[in-house]
Structure 1
Amino acid sequence: MDDLTAEFLAKYPYIPTQFIALDAETTGLSADVDKIIEIAAIKFDLLSNDHPVFEALINPNVKVSRKITSITGITNAMLADQETFTDIAQDLKQFIGDLPIVAYNAKFDKGFLDTEFANVGIILNNHYHCALNLAKAAFNLPNYKLATVAEHCSIPLNEAHRAKADAVAAGRVFMCAAVTLGHINEIIPKKPFTKSSGADHKAYSPNEFGELYGQTIVFTGELSMTRAEAFEAAVELGLEIKSGVSKKTDYLVVGEQDANLVGPTGISSKQIKAEALIDEGFDIQIIDEDEFITLINANH
């Protein structure tokens, strides 16, 4: 170990000396129905400064949409002759071992990994650190896309939305945020409930060149971002913002609800209506803030 490394570890003893930085590219946003098409795991070893890489394209046995190809650059032809997740599962599990896992929006990657591993009878009990949550606690930025946070931390990200590049960036963002905070507790200050004001959805016009142009979105509850920030991110994607849920709604973003407004169920009237329409067969995706951020990241 060189002197600089020893000094760093002594100064920041709360940062794990070994951890896995991981990223998964997928066919969509739902771990229940979508599949992993690329996985990368980087073994950060701060003691040896050696960082082995596990990287694989994965045949999901389903077609990858043109939208996902446009985002990741991964085509069906690239995946046709690749191994399935079942084929690589044991090697990936062995590579990860019992080390802590760092991912950007860890809830997303954990959901897919848990589902894919469960399909082959493997359970991961590793502890996860969310670099996104840590970045939110550490930095005051206009948005928390991986590219934005990486730039803030002077971390290069030349192949965004490819697993290896995103995994490396996630691991380095994790360390940058940890150094800034002085800890690795993913503490995001809670905002007191206030009436969402200062943002009239009618004042926000969808970007006609956005990936999701022609689709609509509705928000309910309080988010860690302001309504104006949420509206700006939504229209940049091409989404049209509506005040109420209808048969034409594509996305409902559910934030933290005020019990004084929604009562003991904790469910808003917008969500109740959306769930009823889903039961009738309408295709409405109900997502939380983390999934909304994933949607933003996936389309940039």
Structure 2
Amino acid sequence: MLLLKRQVNDWLSSQREGAARTVGASYAVVNPHTDFDAFNTRLHGIGPHHVRNAPGFDEVIDLLFPVLSRHHLVQHSNFDKQAVNAASRTYGRDAPDFRWIDSVTIARRAWPELKGNGGHGLGNLKKVLNLNFRHHDAGEDARAAAQVVLHAEAHMGVPFDELVAPKRKAYPSPVTRKGNAAGPYAGAVVVFTGALGLSREAAADLAAQSGMTVKAGVTRLTTYLVVGDQDLTVLGGHSKSSKHRKANEMQAAGHPIRIIGETIFKAMVGG
């Protein structure tokens, strides 16, 4: 389903003017040149006789590509993207690099209270948002997905470009501390990695009280790497964290860095 910026602005203007909420839609059938599954035909009502004289996917995608590649494409879940990519592979083509938007993801941001309360499928959103469409009809479902995005934009008061932008993962700030100059381990530099029983803040406080300076990453100045006792979770296909692997490499190169478990660390600092 094409969702154009102009359509968004027109819809918001109609909301202010009290006009009906409408989104234009059009669709066409494609001949898949393969057998039809009876279940799918019962679900969406399209059978072999509907597509007998229709063009194939390769013809349709060539015709639509100049338009589709310039705009955001709205899908409710990831089904449409998977279908287009699978059809492309069938015809020996690369998957098109379209800008797909999942209206399920947007609906979850806009109406988190629906989780466990009917969910964010089109069937429930139809009731909650009072949408008017015929479910499991290709053109109608596409129009409904666009309506969900438009409703979310109005509900959240978020500009379209911000609404459809991928949500960035927030990472916590690294925990660092300056060591107590009078502590028994003054001058030592410690780095933590893996799943600790202590919180990073609590472990850093213990280390700093004992004189250790706490850093976020392993460098040539690091003297201790503290690894969680239940650590060694798989990261990037490895059995050790990147900090742990780097410390091993530094040990092999002759750097005086010790790798210890959390239990030993707590015994050293009296935690």
TM-score computed with the length of structure 1 as normaliser: 0.44
Q: Which has the larger radius of gyration?
A: 2
Bigger relative contact order, structure 1 or 2 (CA pairs below 8 A, ≥6 apart):
1
TM-score computed with the length of structure 2 as normaliser: 0.49
